Amino acid sequence: MLISENPFTLRTKISRHYCEEKSVGFVPTMGALHDGHASLVRRSVAENPVTVVSIFVNPTQFGANEDLDTYPRPLEADLALLESLGVDYVFTPTERTMYPQGKGNYELLMQLRSMDKILCGAKRPGHFDGVVQVVSKLFNIVRPDRAYFGEKDFQQVAIIRRMAEELFFPVEVVPCPIIREPDGLAMSSRNTYLNAEERRQALFLSTLLKRAREMAGSGNSVSEILELGRRLAEDYSLIRLDYFDIRAGSDLRALDEIKAEDAPRGLVAAFCGQTRLIDNMALL
């Protein structure tokens, strides 16, 4: 497994595989890897002769009051896991190698017009601009044939797919299902922030989505299901609901009726103590 923090070294090493016509699979991450990340990596290893994983906590996608400085960075453990999964290349850039011009000093800005004005984008202004900025850099460095993203970040997958389409990136964006703990909590690097009581109450998110799915299945309306979010949050003293919404699975447009053809999806974000968690589920 080759590990490099230098974009040019990495690209030179990978480029021989393009000549060999081997497909390159890519899994971008921020590290602190868990089984959710591992599922993406396993899929890439199974589907491509060459797999590249990046580990980079991208500063431009964090807001001023967010957890950039405290985000976990257990690099040694991450590398051991990736080696055991059969990864070929790990890209571990520094802020300096990714943004050599310096933060806030780049000429080119990427800005979304509408897809980031809803859900997490509305709550974290600028977050998805930072995501498309870093993912477009990563796509240009790695030049993958397939890139694997978790549906845990449902809005992110939709935005990356749209970015790849609009910019003609020759990459197939592959969405992968959410991996959960046995009790239903969606795996997340941020779950390590939770104390025992917060961990218990974090089940609010998956419980809400499962109940929403039951309600959708028995013919309840969008507004009845949304009301459940507010009511259920009252039973959880450490939960502060950030949003709960129901949107079309294909393009995240707002829905006023539950119909199978729209692939309705429940999406939730909530603070559990100080930790912001997200989750989503197909409702039909």
**Span 150-169, contacts to ligand AMP by CB under 6 A:** 150, 152-153
Q: Which long-range contacts (CB under 8 A, 24 or more apart) does 227-231 make?
A: 229/268
Tokens matching residue 181: 């703990």
Give φ, ψ of 186 to 5 degrees.
Answer: -65, 135
Shortest reach from residue 185's CB to ligand AMP, in Å: 9
What is the pairing mode between strands 264-272 and 239-248?
A: antiparallel
- x-or-dash string of contact with ligand AMP, 15-34, rule CB under 6 A: --------------xx----
Q: Does residue 178 interact with ligand AMP by CB under 6 A? A: yes
Which residue minimizes CB distance to ligand AMP?
A: 150
- Pick 4 or 280: Cβ nearer ligand AMP: 280
- x-or-dash string of contact with ligand AMP, 77-116, rule CB under 6 A: ----------------------------------------
Stretch that binds ligand AMP, among 83-91, 165-173, 176-184, 223-231 (CB under 6 A): 176-184
- Pick 199 or 215: Cβ nearer ligand AMP: 199
**What positions carry a catalytic annotation?**
37
- x-or-dash string of contact with ligand AMP, 123-152, rule CB under 6 A: --------------------------xx-x
Stretch that binds ligand AMP, among 132-140, 166-174, 178-186, 219-227 (CB under 6 A): 178-186
Shortest reach from residue 152's CB to ligand AMP, in Å: 4
d(CA 167, CA 181): 36
**Span 32-51, contacts to ligand AMP by CB under 6 A:** 36-37, 39-40
* 59 close to 66: Cβ distance less than 8 angstroms: no
Q: With CA atoms as reference, report the closest residue to 205 among 279, 263, 154.
A: 279
Shortest reach from residue 207's CB to ligand AMP, in Å: 17
Shortest reach from residue 234's CB to ligand AMP, in Å: 27
Strand stretches in the chain, DSSP E:
2-4, 24-29, 50-55, 89-91, 146-150, 172-176, 239-248, 264-272, 275-282
d(CA 18, CA 195): 47
Those residues whose C-beta lies under 8 Å from the C-beta of residue 165, and which sit 6 or more positions away, are: none
- Pick 68 or 226: Cβ nearer ligand AMP: 68
d(CA 51, CA 63): 31
Shortest reach from residue 35's CB to ligand AMP, in Å: 7
* 150 close to 178: Cβ distance less than 8 angstroms: yes
In eight-state DSSP terms, residue 253 is -
Interface contacts to ligand AMP, rule CB under 6 A: 29-30, 36-37, 39-40, 149-150, 152-153, 176, 178-179, 186-189
